[in-house]
Amino acid sequence: MKAFVLERYGKKGALRMADLPMPELRDDEVLVEVHAAGVNLLDSKIRDGEFKLILPYRMPLVLGHDVAGVVVKAGPRVRLFKPGDEVYARVDDFRIGTFAEFVPVKEASLALKPQGLTMEQAASIPLVALTAWQALVEKAGLKKGQKVFVQAGSGGVGSFAIQLAKHLGATVATTTSTTNVALVKSLGADVVIDYKKQNFEDVLHDYDVVLNSQDGKTLEKSLRVLKAGGKLISISGPPDPRFGQDIRAAGFVKLVMRLLSSGVRRRAARRGIDYSFLFMKASGSALREITRLLDAGVVRPVIDRVFAFEATNEALAYVEAGRAKGKVVVKVK
């Protein structure tokens, strides 16, 4: 099969198109023929070596976390899926590899593709939707009447998180550039801050939840908009000790995480705010909940561009540039 391979870590290094043997299938996995693969900033960060401590991958490595495609083979312990099923997933860490013609996926991480979506639309959903779900539903427990600040509302996670938060009954604030104000309003944002004209920390006060996806300076400013008892959930770091325990990190790695997050945790505690880091996990059960929302038209995919499989490196560069409205997808088949 054809696949895009990372030979070694390196900033903005190109992936190499290669012919690889078909992947080996474990008993609890299905083999999916990849029709489309979502492209995420996480792929670039892994390529650049930013997650070496958390995710020590062995080279060579096929990148890609989102898949939509068709089951061609099922392992002997698989019960929910059969050949011919149209499916989608965020594949598991250490089993990534959707920038390829075929990828094995754990049954527990898989869901049937939403009927009303194309393969490209479906491939745009899993990682960003599961991130928003695990942040707002599972970690924040967001409730009707609460106020949530979703940063970078026109991005992949932001565009889905706005819609999900509105469905949950929250008042939603977001930041975006002038050109994307209409987009985030159409997704349901109640308060839209043009970051080129205003500072969000001057506008927002007494919020219940912040979903942080930006840099350290933005993280610090986010503390100021939360009320006592509020929750600051960051998907861009720094990792906290709880995360180290969750992934059963080595003692040295846990120490590094504790040190990296000590400042923000201390300042959050002084304000009575709960800080946590989220590195989303694959989950077929949560994806099925998200499928129901998609099938009901409660949320919708937002796609900026679809690239040809041969242009996977260009798709990664486009995502890295940080200007995509919603998601970028690679069409494999």
Is 98 within a domain? yes
Q: Is 262 in the same domain as 316?
A: no
pLDDT digits (tens, 9 = 90+) for 23-51: 999 999 999 999 999 999 999 999 999 99
Residue 137 lies in a domain: yes
Q: Is the CB of residue 193 less than 8 Å from the CB of residue 149?
A: no
Work out the mean pLDDT of the chain and round it to a whole number: 96
With tokens 């002038």, the residue in question is 178
User: In the structure encoding, which two tokens stand for residue 300, read together?
Assistant: 């919708």
Q: Are residues 6 and 44 in the same domain?
A: yes
Question: 11 with 108, same domain?
Answer: yes
Residue 53 binned pLDDT confidence (cut-offs 50, 70, 90): confident
Dist. CA 315–CA 208, nearest whole Å: 36
The DSSP string of 238-294 is: ---HHHHHHTT--HHHHHHHHHHHHHHHHHHHHTT-EEEE------HHHHHHHHHHH
112 and 67 in a single domain? The answer is yes
6: which 2 tokens?
Answer: 């990372």
The answer as to whether 296 is a domain residue is: no
Q: Which domain holds residue 121?
A: 2-125+301-331
Helix (H) or strand (E) holding 71: strand 66-74
User: Residue 7 — φ and ψ, nearest 5°?
Assistant: -85, -40
Q: How far is the first Cα of the chain from the last one, in angstroms, to the nearest whole number?
A: 12
**Is 191 part of any domain?**
yes
Same domain, 143 and 232: yes
70 and 6 in a single domain? The answer is: yes
Q: Same structural domain for residues 193 and 119?
A: no
Q: Does the model's pTM come out above 0.95?
A: yes
Asked whether residue 147 falls in the same domain as residue 183, the answer is yes
Contact yes or no for 33/102 (Cβ under 8 A): yes
**Contact between 193 and 173 (Cβ < 8 Å):** yes
The residue-averaged pLDDT of 108-113 equals 98
Identify whether 79 is part of a domain.
yes
Residue 12: the pLDDT is: 80
Looking at the structure, tell me whether residues 12 and 62 fall in a common domain: yes
For residue 326, what pLDDT is reported?
Answer: 96
CATH of the domain at 134: 3.40.50.720
Q: Bridge partners of 17?
A: 4
Residues 45 and 96 in one domain: yes
Percent of the chain with pLDDT over 90: 92
Q: How would you class 199 by CB atoms within 10 Å of its CB: exposed for 0-12, middle for 13-18, buried for 19 or more?
A: exposed
The alpha carbon dihedral of 131, 134, 137, 142 has a sign of negative
Does 83 fall in a domain?
yes
Distance in angstroms (rounded) separating the CA atoms of residues 149 and 167: 15
Q: Is the pLDDT of residue 292 over 90?
A: yes
**Whether residues 82 and 138 fall in one domain:** no
Label residue 13 by pLDDT band (50, 70, 90).
confident
Provide the number of structural domains found in the chain.
Answer: 2
Whether residue 173 is found in the same domain as residue 222: yes
